[in-house]
Amino acid sequence: MTYDQPAGTPDAVRAYMSLTRGNDHAAAIVSFADDAHVTDDGRHYHGRSEIRRWLARTSSEFTYTATPIDHQAHADGSTVVTCRLEGDFPGSPVDLDYRFRLDAAGRISRLEIAVHGS
């Protein structure tokens, strides 16, 4: 499954979205800075080891597909990719916003995942 992200999408965002959609969660960790932060479902994960465990858990808990439906670059430097998740989890389907912030090296320093529009 592929998704043609708009020109100008940062490489780390492109890599994260492609790798996680292809279920290569272990490889997706290279997109993150060593001291990155992730917020998902009200929980916080800090550093690559916690993020690696989070990626492994989320990929094994439920079966789902994530289809990117929108992409926006914001003036504050963040990139937001909105995805529709459909699967065997409570509340399916749901649209989620993935808000990325990058460090000076172009790696993901912060990822916040929230219900679209919240």
pLDDT tens column, 63-90: 888 888 898 999 898 999 999 999 998 8
First to last CA, the chain: 28
CA 43, 66, 54 angle in degrees (round to 5)? Answer: 30
Q: Domain residues of the chain, as ranges?
A: 11-115
> Per-residue pLDDT for 59 more than 90?
no
The band of 22, judged by pLDDT with boundaries at 50, 70 and 90, is low
The structure's pTM equals 0.88
How far is it, in rounded angstroms, from Cα 45 to Cα 58? Answer: 13
How far is it, in rounded angstroms, from Cα 81 to Cα 107? Answer: 16
**For range 86-104, the mean pLDDT:** 94
> Per-residue pLDDT for 1 more than 50?
no
The band of 60, judged by pLDDT with boundaries at 50, 70 and 90, is confident
CATH architecture of 11-115: Roll (3.10)
